[in-house]
Structure 1
C-alpha cells in the first residue's frame, strides 16, 4: 500500500453512473430472484421510518418492521428472508431485498418517510497535532491577552488537555469506517481504567477477530454484511469481521484517539511521537466499509448501534459522490447523523475529495460538522541534481532512491523518447502508456509532464520502470503537495517553473545528466496551513444558505497507524506500523478528536455548542502570520476552509456559543421544503399542533442559529437581515462583548446591537446582522466576518453573501 490521496471515488464514478442509468440499487441482489424468492429482480432498499415511537421496545419495533414488509410480499413468503438490516435504537426502519413494485408499495404505507435504493458510499500523527498547537499558540499570542483563559489549563496539546480533564477517560469516539487493526500500539490499554459504565456496546467475533481483541482502549467493534458491495465489485476479501483490510479505519481511529507512540515513522520518514487528538478517549469501531465501498444500509446500522451503544462522538470519513446527491431523507449519513445529534451525539464528517471545483462539498446537512483538508508544516523533499554546475531543483515525493548521489544518469524528456508509431507528441510528453520507445529510455531518467486529465501517474511510472528507466521526474503542479510513495523506484514531482529550468539545462548540452536524491523530511515549512487542492469546496448545492464546509484540519501526508502490508522498500524486513495518507478522511478525525476533548471538559454541552466552540475559535492565519491561501497561492475563502483551521486548545474556552436543538433543525426542514407529516415522522417528539410557518422558504434558512452566516441571492438593490442568539459559557457570568465587522468593499454590514452585556440572570442575548448589496461593485460571493470580543475571548463568525 502506498501513501496517496484518498481518491477511490474517481474509479467509482463510472460504476455509479452506470448503476444510476440502470435505475436500480448499486449493490442489490443479482439475478432474477436475488435470494428473496419470486421471479422479479430484487435489490436492497432502505425503508426509513423516522424516530423511534415513544415507549416502544426494540423487540416490538422489529416485529412491526416484519409485519410491514410482510404485507407487501407474495403470500407465504417470510419477511425474515428479505430483511437484511433493522434499525431500532436511534431511529426506526430496515433494509430489505425487494422488487420495484414492493418498494413502491412500501412508500405508500403510513409511517414511512422514504424508501430508497441502497447506495454505495466511498471512503474519502506525528506532526499534525503539534502543528495545530504551534500555529494556535502563535496566533493566540498575537491577538489575545496573555492571562490564563478562564478555568481551562494552558495545555501543551489537545491530548494533554484531555488527559487532565476529570471526565477524559469516559469519552467514547465511535468511527464508521473500514474496521480496525487491534494489534496496533495506538490501541494498547495500559494505564486505562475500567470501561465507562454508560457503554452498552459489544466486541463482535469474526474472521481473525475475537472478543479478546478489544480492551479498555478499543472497547467495541462491530461489523455489518458487506457481501452486496463485494459481489458488485467482484472482491475477494471477506468483510466478515471488524478487522481492517484497507488500513483506512485504523488510520482514522488512531488519528482521533490513538495512544502516544514514541519512535513512530514511515520507514524513517516523519519521525516522532504519533498520537491521537484525544488520546485518553475510548474507541469503538463500526465496520461499514470494505476497500470497495460502504453500503448505505450498513452505514445506517452503524449509526443506529453507535447511538444505542453510548458513544459521545461519531467520526465519519466517507461520503456520497458530489455529482449524484440524494435528498436528506434518502441519504444514509444525513439520516443517521440527524438522529445521533437529536440524542446528543456529536457527528463529524469529511467534506469530500472532489476539489478544487466549486460546489462539491458533501455531508452538508446543518446538524453535521463538515471538515475540509489543509496542509501542515511538513513536506517530503526529493531533489533533482543536474550535471554541469551541480544545481539542485527542489522536488517532492516519497522514494528511497539508491541512485548515485552524483548527477551521472542521462536525462531525456518524454517527447524525445516518443515511439515512431505514435503521432501525438503531447501524449509522449506526458509519458502516456504505450507512447514511448523503450530503447530510448533504458538506463535514463525521464522527464514527464503530468496533468489532471492524463493517465494515472502510477501507471506511467510502472511502465517506465518496466521499460528500464532508472527514474522519473513528474511535472505536477496540482498534486505535488500530496507526497505519493514510489518506494524504491526514484521518482520526484516538481512544479512547471522548476521544469523550465530542467528543460533549459537539457537543451544547453549534448549530454544532459542528473540524479534523484532520496526523500528527506522537512519541517517548519512555510506557508502552512494551505487549503488542500483535493478538498471539496462550497457552496453547498443543497443548502446555499448554510455555509459549508465548517472548518478545516490537517489532511495532507498524515502519519497514523496502518495495517501490515507486503510491499516493503528494499532492505526492510517488516512492514511499517504507520503510513502517510492524504484526504479529507484524515482531516475528519482531527476534528473528532478535538470535539471529544471539548466534550471531556464540558460533558453537558450539546453537539451544537461543541461545534460552535470549534468553529468560532478556528484560525485563519498561516505560520507566516498571513491569511491562509489555496495551493495555487490565491487567498483562501470560507468556501475553502469554512471558519478556518481547527484550534484544539482554543475550543476549550470559546466564551460564547451558538446553540441549536432538534426543534431548530425541524424548522430548517420546514424551510427546506419538507411537509409537516414528514417532519412529525422524522422527529423524536413533537407537539400535536406543530406546524411549519406560512412563509417558510429556503431564504429563511439563513436565520438558523449557526456559527457562520450564508445569504444566497441578495439583489444589488436589496438587503437581508438575519438573527442570531449567543450563550455565555465563559467563567465570568458578567461579561461585556463588543463587535467588530470585517466586510469586503461594496457590501454594507451592520450589527445591532453592537454591544452585548451578560449578567448572572442574562445568559443568552440576540443580535441582528443586516447585509446590503446596494453599493456592491460586482456580482459574486463576498465574504467577511463578525467577531465578538470581551478582551479575553475572540468569537468569530465568517459570512458569505452571494450577489
Structure 2
C-alpha cells in the first residue's frame, strides 16, 4: 500500500513480536530459525494446562525457562527526567530488529540525510555502520543480553518496517503466493530502527530509553508494533509506553501502536492512552484457498495457506478426531483436538478432521496433529467466518459447518475414506472486505471506557512484506512473507500518517489522527456495513472509527485538536493527584478541578465519543462538547449535522449548523445523549456526521446504557 513516493520524513519503528500473534508462518520444530521466548503467564481465555503451554512454546523456536530480567539503568534527559528501574515482566516478547540488506531498504533516489537528523547507526558483530544508508538512516539496540546489534532475527521488525516505508520492489512473493510489487505505505520516508527486546523479554526501561533517544534523534513518527494485553496495563503512570509516548506527543511526534491480538473477546484492547493512536486489524480483498478432494471425487473449497510440496500432493486416509480419542478422553475434547485428547495410533499418517473450539487456537491444533504424526488438518469452524491462516509446510484447510457436515457424512458412509489437500491458490478481489480480523483485540477499554479504543482499523491479515532470508541464502537475497496481526496493521497507519504529514507538515499529531479517523471507511466492497468474522455488523469497539482511507484524510475539512491540556485533564479525571501528574509527566503545574470524575473523560476533545455509563430516562441525559477546526480550502463555509442514532438512544446536536469565516476557524458544538427507558442495557453505537456538501466529517460514538 503506497500513497506517495516523496517525503523527507523519518519514520522510526520499534520492532517487537508478541507470542499472542496469531496465524504467523510456523517453522519446523526440528529446524528452528527464530527465537521467541514466552515470558508471562497464560492469556485469559487460552488453555492453561501444561501441555498446551508446551505446544505453544514449540511454535516459538528455541524454548527456554523464564530467566531473571537483567537490570539496565538508563539516564533520560531528552524528553523527560529520571532513571529507569527494573519493572515487573508483563508481556511475552521476542527479539527483533531490522535486516538492512533487504531491497525494501535500498536508498535509490534518496538525497542527503536531513540536517535535523541527530541519530546514529550502532554497529555490532553482524551489523556494520555501513549497513545504514540514506533510506535506513539509523539503528539502535538496547539489549543487555543475547543480541549484540540491531539486526533482525525473527523477521518481525523487518516486516513491519517495510510495511510502513519500504521501497518499491518488483516481482516478490511468499513462495509463489501474493506475487506482485512490494512497497510501504510511504516509500519515500526514511527509517530509523530501534531494537528494544531480546530473548529475555522487552524491558520497560529499554522502551523508555528508545523513545527518549528517538525524540532527541529527530524522528517525526514512532510506530510501535506492540500489542499490549488489556490486563497487563493496570494504570497509565506505570505503563512505559504510555509515559514515553506522552513525552513524544508533547514534542509533536505521533505515536502509532497495535491494539493487540486477543480478539474476538471484548475488553481485550491494549494501549489505551488517548495520546496513542491504537490500531485494530482487518483482512484485505485477497484470500487463499486450499481445496479438498474427497475420495469420492467431490471437491470442496476451503481456506488456508500451506507450502507442502504441490508435486507430491496425494490422498491420505481421513479420520474424524471424535473417533480417534485417547482412552478416557471426553468426546468434546477429542473432536476439538485438544492437547492429549487424541490416540496417536489412530491418527498417525492420516488427515484429521477437527472442530474449532473456543478453548483452543488454530496454532495449538496444528501442533497437536504434527506431534502425533498426522499428514494434514481439516478444521471445521462453526463459530466464525472462515479466514485463511498460515500453517507453513503442514497441509491444512478450513471449512464452514456446511462443508463440515458433508465431510463427516462422507466419512460415516465410506469404508476407507481418503482426502487430498490441494496446493494453496490465491483468490483476488474476494468479498466481503474489509472484515474485522478475528484476532484483533476489541473494546470497550478496560481502564477508561469513556475513551473509545481502538481508534482505527487497517489491513493486518496475511500481509506480504520483507523478511530476513533463509540461513543458507545470501544476506541480500530478496525474501518476502505473509504475516498476520495488529503488528502488521500498525505500520499501515504509520505510512498513512506519514503521507498526511508530508502534505501538512505543520499539523499536530492529534490533527493527523483526527483526519484519519473522521474520514475512515465504514462500509465494505459490497457497499454494506463492515462486518466481523461472525458475519455481524461491526461496532466501533472492533473497528474504531473505521478502515483507513489515506487519500481522503489529506483533505478532511474539519479536525478535532486534542491538546496537552486535554491529556492532562484526562489524567485528572482518571483520578491521579496533581502531585503525581506533575512528578511523573510534566514540569508545568497541573491544576485539577475539584469536580474531576471519570465521567468527564468523555469531554476531552477527542474525534470519537464514548460514554461508559448512561442511565435510562430523560433526566439522566449526558452532554458532551466538542470543538472543530476548519482546515479545508474554503474559509467561508457552513457544515450541517446529520445524526445516525441507534434504537434506544436519543441524540441531539446544537447548533446543527457550524458557520466558519475569515476570522472564525474554530467552532464548538454540544451533543446530548438520552437513553430510552425500554432500551436494552448494553452499548449502543452510532455517528455524528458534518457535511459542507463536499467533505464528510464522521465521528463515531459508543454509549453504554445501564
TM over 0.5: yes
- How big is the shift at 1:14? 1.9
Q: What is the rounded CA distance, in whole Å, between the counterparts of 1:358 and 1:375 in structure 2? A: 19
1:652 aligns with 2:576: no
State the alpha-carbon separation in 2 of the partners of residues 591 and 523 from structure 1: 23
- The answer to whether structure 1 residue 494 and structure 2 residue 399 are counterparts is yes
Deviates more, 1:485-494 or 1:367-376: 485-494
* Deviates most, 495-504 or 278-287: 495-504
- For residues 239 and 616 of structure 2, the distance between their equivalents in structure 1, rounded to whole angstroms, comes to 36
Q: Residue 445 in 1 paired to residue 351 in 2?
A: yes
User: Secondary structure of 2:234's match?
Assistant: coil
2:615 is aligned to: 715
Shift of residue 297 of structure 1?
0.6
Question: Which one of the candidate residues 432, 435, 438 is aligned to 1:533?
Answer: 438
1:692-736, Cα deviation, whole Å (9 max, x unpaired): 122111111111000001112111021011110000001111111
- 1:9 deviation in Å? 11
Asked if structure 2 preserves the Cα contact closer than 8 Å seen for 1:550 and 1:615, the reply is yes
- The within-5 A match list for 1:554-633 is 554-566=459-471, 577-633=479-535
Aligned residue runs from structure 1 range 104-123, under 5 A:
117-122=87-92
Question: Contact between 2:69 and 2:200, CA under 8 Å: does it hold in 1?
Answer: no
Name which of 315, 318, 322 aligns with 1:411: 318
Helix, strand or coil: the match of 1:797?
strand
**Helix, strand or coil at the partner of 2:550:** coil
Look up the match of 1:170.
none
Q: Which residue of 2 aligns with 1:785?
A: 687
- CA deviation digits over 1:645-688, x for unaligned, max 9? 111111111000001221221111111112222233345453x6
Among 305, 312, 322, the alignment partner of 2:230 is 322
Between the aligned partners of 1:440 and 1:122, the Cα distance in structure 2 is 35
* 2:192 aligned residue: 284
CA deviation profile, 1:270-317 (whole Å, cap 9, x unmatched): 111111101101101110123553111100011100111111110111
- Asked if the contact 2:307/2:395 (under 8 Å) is kept, the reply is yes
Q: Is contact 1:315-1:589 (8 Å) kept?
A: yes
1:332 equivalent to 2:240? Answer: yes
Are the aligned partners of 2:22 and 2:261 in contact in 1 as well (CA < 8 Å)?
Answer: no
1:115-154 matched pairs, under 5 angstroms: 117-122=87-92
Q: What is the alpha-carbon distance in structure 2 between the residues aligned to residue 279 and residue 726 of structure 1? A: 31
How far apart are the structure 1 equivalents of 2:103 and 2:122? 21
Determine if contact 2:290/2:301 at 8 Å carries over to the other structure: no
The question of whether the paired residues in 1 share the 8 Å contact of 2:303 and 2:388 is answered with: no
Contact 2:324/2:347 (<8 A) preserved:
yes
What is the deviation of 1:205?
1.0
Give the direction of change, closer, same or farther, for the CA distance of 1:650–1:468 in structure 2 (3 Å limit). same
Partner of 2:105: 187
Distance 1:788 1:212, change over 3 A: same
Task: Please list, as runs of the form range in 1=range in 2, the aligned pairs for 1:735-754 lying within 5 A after superposition.
Answer: 735-754=637-656
The alignment status of 1:200 with 2:118, answered yes or no, reads yes
Note the C-alpha offset of 1:593: 0.8
Task: Name stretches of at least 5 consecutive residues in structure 1 with no aligned partner.
Answer: 18-41, 45-81, 98-116, 125-176, 228-237
**Could you tell me how far 1:426 is from its partner in structure 2?**
3.5
Partner residue in 1 for 2:79: 90
RMSD of the alignment, in Å? 2.9
Deviation string 1:173-202 (CA, Å, 9 cap, x unpaired) is xxxx83110011110001101111111111
Aligned to 2:151: 243
Q: Does structure 2 conserve the Cα–Cα contact (< 8 Å) formed by 1:738 and 1:790?
A: yes
Contact residue 228 and residue 269 of structure 2 kept, 8 A: no
* Distance in structure 1 (CA, Å) of the matches to 2:258 and 2:568: 23
Q: Is the Cα–Cα contact under 8 Å of residues 121 and 319 in structure 1 kept in the other structure?
A: no
Task: Please say if 1:5 is aligned against 2:23.
Answer: yes
* 288-297 or 306-315, larger mean C-alpha shift: 288-297
Aligned mates of 1:719, 1:459 — CA distance in 2: 48
Normalised by the size of structure 1, how large is the TM-score? 0.77
SS, match of residue 323 in structure 1: helix
In structure 1, the partner of 2:410 is: 505
Task: Tell me, yes or no, if the aligned pair for 2:72 and 2:144 is still in contact at 8 Å.
Answer: no
Corresponding residue for 1:260?
168
**Change in CA separation of 1:459 and 1:536 when aligned onto 2, cut-off 3 Å:** closer
1:444-497 Cα offsets, whole Å, 9 max, x none, are 32222342424x655654564565543331224568855443344322222233
Partner of residue 691 from structure 1, selected from 579, 584, 591:
591
The verdict on how the C-alpha distance between 1:762 and 1:573 changes in structure 2, with shifts beyond 3 A counting, is closer
Q: How far apart, in 2, do the equivalents of 1:465 and 1:303 lie?
A: 41
* Equivalent in the alignment of 2:127: 209
| 2:120 and 2:139 in contact (8 A); partners too | yes
The answer for the alignment partner of 1:427 in structure 2 is: 333
CA distance in 2: counterparts of 1:9 and 1:797, whole angstroms: 40
Q: For residues 625-652 of structure 1, give each alpha carbon's deviation from its aligned partner in whole angstroms, at most 9, with x where no partner exists.
A: 0001110111100000110011111111
Q: Secondary structure at the match of 1:785?
A: strand
Deviation at residue 425 of structure 1 after TM alignment: 3.5
2: distance between equivalents of 1:393 and 1:320? 36
Report the Cα distance in structure 2 between the residues aligned to 1:203 and 1:603, rounded to whole angstroms.
26
Query: Equivalent residue of 1:750, what SS?
Result: strand
The one-character-per-residue Cα deviations of 1:206-258 (angstroms, maximum 9, x if unpaired) are 2311210100000000000343xxxxxxxxxx222111112111111111100
Give a deviation string over 1:107-153, Cα, whole Å, max 9, x none.
xxxxxxxxxx34444459xxxxxxxxxxxxxxxxxxxxxxxxxxxxx
* C-alpha separation in 2, matches of 1:6 and 1:330: 31
Counterpart for residue 703 of structure 1:
603
Distance change >3 Å, CA 536–CA 462, structure 1 → 2: closer
Instruction: Give the equivalent residue in structure 2 for 1:235.
Output: none
Cα deviation, residue 324, structure 1? 2.9
Instruction: Report the TM-score when normalising by structure 2.
Output: 0.87
Aligned with 1:290: secondary structure? coil
Matched residues, number: 653
Q: 1:508 to 1:674 in 2, by over 3 A?
A: same
Structure 2, unaligned stretches of length 5 or more?
1-16, 26-34, 45-67
Deviation at 1:442, TM superposition (A): 4.8
Cα offset for 1:796? Answer: 0.3
SS state at 1:186 partner:
helix
Quote the residue 2:51 is aligned against: none
SS in structure 2 of the partner of residue 748 of structure 1: strand
- What is the aligned partner in structure 2 of residue 520 from structure 1? 425
CA contact (8 A) 1:83 1:94 kept: no
2:630 — aligned with what?
Answer: 728
- Per-residue CA shift, 1:533-579, capped at 9, x if unaligned? 111111111111111110000111111111123599xxx99987111
Q: Distance in 1 between matches of 2:408 and 2:604?
A: 55
Contact 1:404 1:515 in 2 (8 A): no
The CA deviation at 1:762 is: 0.6
> 1:246·1:290 contact (CA, 8 Å) conserved in 2?
no
The answer to whether the 8 A contact 1:257-1:278 is kept is yes
| 1:766-789 CA distance string (max 9 Å, x none) | 100011114452211111000111
Q: Paired residue for 1:344, among 245, 248, 252?
A: 252
Q: How far apart, CA to CA, are the structure 2 residues paired with 1:662 and 1:788?
A: 25
Pair 1:423–1:699, CA change in 2 (3 A):
closer
Question: Secondary structure in 2 aligned to 1:388?
Answer: coil
Matched, 1:354 2:262: yes
State the structure with more CA Rg. 1
SS at match of 1:639: helix
The match for 1:14 is: 41
